[in-house]
Amino acid sequence: MKFKRLEISGFKSFSERSVLDFRDGITAIVGPNGCGKSNISDAIRWVMGEQRAKDLRGASMADVIFAGTQRRSPAQMAEVKLKLESDSFPYPYSEFHEVEVIRRLTMNGVSEYRINGAASRLKDVRGLFMDSGVGTRAMSIIEQGKIHQIVTSRPEDRRGVIEEAAGINKFKESKKEALAKLEDVNNNLLRVQDVTQEVE
Ligand code: ATP
């Protein structure tokens, strides 16, 4: 999966619509301290469905909306669009060669995701990236301090990092869903047994 284009508006320091086209090869973003380089990787992580404000260096999710400056008024909405290219998008996007994901958050807390223009759920966005190697928790985005954090983390946390890199999270999610269903079925079975015993 390749990133083709990123459009950011009203997100963190990007008050105006800014567009980054990613060409083949390596893209480097350079600039003075505080100019917004990390905000670009935050925007990428956000559009991929990041839910933890702390991991986006904010106290609450509303902190991603451009807060205004002396000259510019605050934005009413943060919007990030990410265009992706792949020959093997997962179902139900497998027929596409390009997919565009949009995430929006308004000042009054309305949040939405769109995939190829259609209103989508966070689950759909996560499904699109799962096991592609570029999910929010994948090791394709290494923030400042991350290496130190991994090296000094508890063994069970480090195991999580290795599991993510090995691409087994999809199966762990499916297992969790299957176990939850199994528990529902067991509960229903118990109820049926109770009713049968009463009838007998
Ligand atoms: P460094 O090289 O020091 O790591 P950087 O280029 O990565 O810096 P960022 O951390 O991406 O810079 O950007 C920091 C800037 O973004 C700060 O000036 C901060 O005020 C601004 N910023 C962050 N959130 C918002 C927001 N919601 N509204 C307006 N500006 C914001």
Same domain, 146 and 117: no
Name the phi and psi angles at 167, rounded to 5: 75, 30
pLDDT for res 135: 63
pLDDT for res 133: 64
Residues 10, 78 contacting (CB under 8 angstroms): yes
Same domain, 110 and 186: no
Same domain, 131 and 144: no
What is the rounded CA–CA span in Å between residue 23 and residue 28?
A: 11
Kindly report, residue by residue over 132-188, the tens digit of the pLDDT. 767 666 656 777 777 888 889 999 988 887 877 777 777 888 899 999 999 999 999
ipTM above 0.90, yes or no: yes
Q: State the pLDDT confidence band at 78, using cuts at 50, 70 and 90.
A: very high
148-to-82, 142, 153, 158, 183 alpha-carbon distances in Å: 29, 11, 8, 12, 40
Domain count, the chain: 3
Question: Residue 153 sits in which domain range?
Answer: 139-167
Residues 12, 34 contacting (CB under 8 angstroms): no
Q: What CATH number does the domain containing 8 carry?
A: 3.40.50.300
Mean pLDDT (the chain, rounded): 91
Pocket perturbation via mutation, ligand 1, pick of 39, 63, 72 by most ligand atoms within 8 A of CB: 39
Q: Whose CA is nearest to atom 1 of ligand 1?
A: 33
Q: Is the pLDDT of residue 40 over 90?
A: yes
Same domain, 163 and 185: no
Same domain, 123 and 158: no
Listed residue (153, 14, 147, 118) closest to 74, CA to CA: 14
Pocket lining for ligand 1, CB < 6 angstroms:
12-13, 31, 33-39, 63, 65-67
Same domain, 11 and 63: yes
